[in-house]
Amino acid sequence: MTEIKNAHFTTLQGAYDTELMEATLRIRRWDPDTQRARFDTFTVTVPVTASVLDALDAIKDTRDGTLAYRKSCRMAVCGSCGMRIDGGAALACKTPMKKFVDAGHTITVSPMGNLPVIKDLVVDMAPFWEKIRAVKPYLDTKDEEVPDTEWRVSPEHHEMIHKESLCILCGCCVSECNSMESDPDFLGPAALAKAYRFVGDARDTDTRERLRDLNGAHGIWDCTRCYFCNQRCPKGVDPRDAIAKLGAESFKEGFVRDEGARHAKVFVDSTYKGGYLRETELVPKTIGPVNAVKDIPFALQLARAGKVPNPLSPHKAKDNDEVKRLWKLLEKEAKGAERPRAMHPDAVREG
Ligand code: SF4
Ligand code: SF4
Ligand code: FES
C-alpha cells in the first residue's frame, strides 16, 4: 500500500488502496469584512482520482477551515460547485486534478464572473434566479384542457427540447457571457436556454407571448454570438443554439422589429435570394435609411481604411448552386422539425 500522507484520505486509501499525489492550488480569497482580495496557495495530498472539489475539501479540512465555496452532490448534478478554474467557469466536481498535477501546473481557482462575490468562491446567485424567474420557467397551459393523468409527450417532441432540459442551473455559461459583462440586464444564456425549453414544449400555450417578451430589450437579439456559453456549459445544453432556435421561432411568429432581428433577417434573405451576402444593404436594412444616412461619416472612415466592400462588385459565393442546395436541405429539415403536438392521454388510449 502507498504511504498515507494525509489523514484526510486515510479512510479512502484504506478502502481502495488509492495512489496519492500532491496538488497545488492558487485560490482567490475575498474577505467581505475587510472588502479585500488576496491569493492563497495551498499544496495538499489527494488521491490521483481527486477532482478540484476534492482538493478544495482537503484544503478546508486540513489547512484552512475558513475557505468558502459551494458544493452538494459531487457528481455534476446539483449545479452548486461552479467556479473559474484557470479563468474559465467549470464544475469543480467534474474537473479532475490529475491532468494539472501531471503537467506540473498550479491551477488558479476564482469565483464565477458576472455575479457578485459574497466570500472567496461563493457568488450571490440572486441575479441569476431573477432572470430564470423572468422567463416563466414553468408550463403555461391556460388555453388547453389539462388531463387529470400524466400528460405525455412523444419522443420526437422530447427530442426537440432534450438538450435544454439537461440544464442544472449552475451558472457557468452566465459567468463567461460577454454580453452580460457589458449589459448586466441581458437575460443571459441560462435563462434563454430555459425559455426555449418552454417555447419548444408542445404542451405550452404561451409561445407567442413568451417570444414577444424575449424580443424586447435585453432579450435574444442582444446576444453577441461569442459561443462562450456553449464552450463552458458542463452539460451540453448549448445555450447559444437555444437562442438561435428562439430567433427562428420569432421569425415564424413575425417578430422582426428589433435591430438584431432585422440584421439576421437581411443575412437570411440575401443568401436565400442570391446565394451571397449583399453587404451594402446590411446597414440601411438593419438600422433604417435615416439612421444609415447619419452613419455616413463613419462609413467614410471605414472606406478610407479599406473596410467597405465595392458596392458594384459584391462578394459572391463561388458556387451559388451549392448555396441553393444547402437552403433546400435546411427547408426540408425545418419541415421535419415542426412542433409536434403533445400526447394527450386520451390520444394515447385511442391510439
Ligand atoms: S453566445 Fe450570447 S449568450 Fe452565449 S456567452 Fe456569448 S453573448 Fe452570452
Ligand atoms: S446552460 Fe449549462 S452552463 Fe448554463 S446554467 Fe445550464 S447547465 Fe449550467
Ligand atoms: S457538487 Fe453538485 S455539481 Fe458539483
pLDDT for the residue 194: 98
Sheet containing 20-31, strands listed edge to edge, beginning at the edge strand earlier in sequence? 36-47, 20-31, 107-110, 82-85, 88-91
Same domain, 112 and 144: no
Nearest by Cα to 175 from 292, 38, 252, 82: 82
Q: What is the CATH number of the domain that holds 199?
A: 1.10.1060.10
Ligand 3 in reach of 149 Cβ (< 6 A): no
Q: What is the CATH number of the domain that holds 42?
A: 3.10.20.30
167 Cα–ligand 3 center, Å? 13
Same domain, 209 and 107: no
End-to-end, the C-alpha distance of the chain in Å comes to 62
Q: Is residue 334 part of a domain?
A: no
C-alpha span between 113 and 324 (Å, rounded):
42
Range of the domain at 75: 7-123
Residues near ligand 1 with C-beta < 6 Å? Answer: 176-179, 189, 223-229, 239-240, 243
Burial 77-102 (b: 16+ CB within 10 A, else e): ebbbbbbbbeeebbbbbbbebbebbe
pLDDT for the residue 343: 56
Same domain, 30 and 45: yes
Q: Which of 97, 123, 149 is the last residue of a domain?
A: 123
Same domain, 67 and 136: no
Which of 169, 192, 240 for a ligand 2 pocket mutation test, highest count of atoms within 8 Å of Cβ?
169
Same domain, 136 and 53: no
Which uninterrupted H or E stretch holds 20?
strand 20-31
pLDDT for the residue 303: 81
pLDDT for the residue 216: 93
Which of 77, 166, 167 for a ligand 3 pocket mutation test, highest count of atoms within 8 Å of Cβ?
77
C-alpha span between 45 and 20 (Å, rounded):
6
Same domain, 214 and 345: yes
φ, ψ dihedrals at 300, nearest 5°? -65, -40
C-alpha span between 232 and 68 (Å, rounded):
23
pLDDT for the residue 266: 77
Same domain, 69 and 209: no
pLDDT for the residue 4: 42
118 Cα–ligand 1 center, Å? 24
C-alpha cell at 198: 418552454
Q: Is residue 299 part of a domain?
A: no
Same domain, 152 and 48: no
Intervals of the chain under pLDDT 50 = 1-5, 345, 347-351
Same domain, 184 and 87: no
Q: Is residue 52 part of a domain?
A: yes
Q: Is residue 263 part of a domain?
A: no
pLDDT for the residue 339: 59
φ, ψ dihedrals at 26, nearest 5°? -105, 120
Q: Which of 123, 152, 186 is the last residue of a domain?
A: 123
Q: Which of 123, 151, 173 is the last residue of a domain?
A: 123
Q: Is residue 252 part of a domain?
A: yes
C-alpha span between 321 and 152 (Å, rounded):
43
Q: Is residue 330 part of a domain?
A: no
Same domain, 167 and 133: yes
Q: Is residue 293 part of a domain?
A: no
Neighbours of 18 (CB within 10 A): 18
C-alpha span between 205 and 219 (Å, rounded):
20
Q: DSSP character for 344?
A: -
pTM for the whole thing? 0.84
C-alpha span between 118 and 34 (Å, rounded):
12
Nearest by Cα to 167 from 87, 83, 229: 229
How many domains would you assign to the chain?
A: 2
Atom number, ligand 2, closest to the C-alpha of residue 239: 1
Check: CB of residue 236 under 8 Å from CB of residue 163: yes
Same domain, 146 and 106: no
Same domain, 40 and 145: no
Atom number, ligand 1, closest to the C-alpha of residue 227: 1
Q: Is residue 24 part of a domain?
A: yes
Whose C-alpha lies nearest to ligand 1, atom 4?
229
pLDDT for the residue 146: 83
243 Cα–ligand 1 center, Å? 9
